[in-house]
Amino acid sequence: MADLQLGIPITIGGEEVIIFRDAIGTDALATGRDAEVFTVIEHAGPDGRPPIYIDEKELGTLREDFPGTNVYGLWQLLFANNLVPLGHEVVVFPTSEAGGVYLQMQNGTDYESPANIKRSSEYIDNYSADLYGYDLLSAPRIRVDISDLVLPSTPAFTRVELFSKKQHERTKRWYLALAICIVAAVAAIGYNYTMYAVFTMNMAEYTTKKKLSSDLDLRAAGLLKERLQTIPNDGLVISRIDQVIAFDPMISTPTAAGHTNGFTTGHVFTTRPNFPVDLSGKVPGVTSKLMPQMSYLLTVSPDAQEVAY
């Protein structure tokens, strides 16, 4: 079993630390020495336990003697490990055969309640002027094994260190806020650029489609102008051509210039040579002309009325 020594570096939980005298209770501050300036190292607990303090001057001396080593208060450590046996008016933590520190409760109160802690102080030769008439030898003694201890969540800091720490945390928050603003600005710029690129692409597609739509409208308008108002009915002229072919299946289209065929201008055919029949009198709408080869030049009219030659 390794005893807990105060004021020198010891190892707890794998970390080298210093455990030092601290104070708890408002009466402990009232009876302190004039040169002592106390700072809070542990705020009041939810169970009513008073705040725990440490002397800044002594803490500063430890900083100079052991730079970089975290300092914790004795009562801070004991309460963090639930090693303070409440239920008694006085509890003692010996640091030597006849000296140590003690915790005193308010006389006549519930000694089980941490809210009734009156003060902590030191005793020498098993005597303290604040405990006149009390037998310290009969008080419960706290014995600890440092191998079983765990450190409190926060070490002791002077007020200057706390101010510097808060300033550092405030600066970190400002840097964090600035970084968030920069990230947000970059994200906004990236988003705007992306939206602009999408907008430009959509506008280009819209312009292309709009031009295509205009071209299609122009083509549709042109086609509408060329559209036939009535469906042509060439049944009459086709019937006449069928009758002509029935009389002479060997008719042909003349190759001489000036003869054109069409449903709107008439159809011109030539019968075979020595054709014996003049079809102008056989088929309505057909005119004929006898050619030197004794063939007939037939013109099939698309008109509804018969055309006389």
**Predicted confidence pLDDT, tens digits, the chain (309 residues):** 457 889 999 999 899 999 999 999 877 676 655 556 889 999 999 999 999 999 999 999 999 999 999 999 999 999 999 999 999 999 999 998 899 999 999 988 999 999 999 999 999 998 998 888 888 999 999 989 888 899 999 999 988 888 887 888 888 888 999 899 999 999 999 999 999 999 999 999 999 999 999 999 988 888 888 777 777 777 888 888 888 888 888 888 877 655 666 656 678 888 888 888 888 877 888 888 888 888 888 888 877 654 443
Residues 178, 72: one domain? no
In a domain, 224, yes or no: no
- 116 shares its domain with 168: no
Specify if 229 maps to a domain: no
Looking at the fold, whether 240 and 146 belong to one and the same domain comes out as: no
In a domain, 4, yes or no: no
pTM for the predicted model, two decimal places: 0.57
Do 39 and 83 reside in the same domain of the chain?
A: yes
Distance (Å, whole) CA 200 – CA 120: 77
Same domain, 61 and 74: yes
Residues 245 and 266 in one domain: yes
Domain tally, the chain: 3
β-bridge mates for residue 101, sequence order:
93, 122
Q: Are residues 149 and 170 in the same domain?
A: no
- Enumerate the H helices of the chain as residue ranges: 26-30, 56-65, 74-80, 159-226, 235-247
User: Are residues 70 and 190 both part of a single domain?
Assistant: no
Q: Are residues 196 and 240 in the same domain?
A: no
Q: Is residue 63 part of a domain?
A: yes
Q: Domain for residue 230, yes or no?
A: no
**Residue at which a domain ends, from 180, 202, 224:** 202
* 211 domain residue, yes or no: no
- Residue matched to tokens 């597609």: 205
Is there a contact between 38 and 55 (Cβ–Cβ < 8 Å)?
yes
- Give the range of the structural domain holding residue 118, as residue numbers without chain letter: 9-157
Query: Could you tell me if 250 and 184 lie in one domain?
Result: no
* Same domain as 17, residue 143: yes
Distance separating alpha carbons of residues 64 and 59, to the nearest angstrom? 9
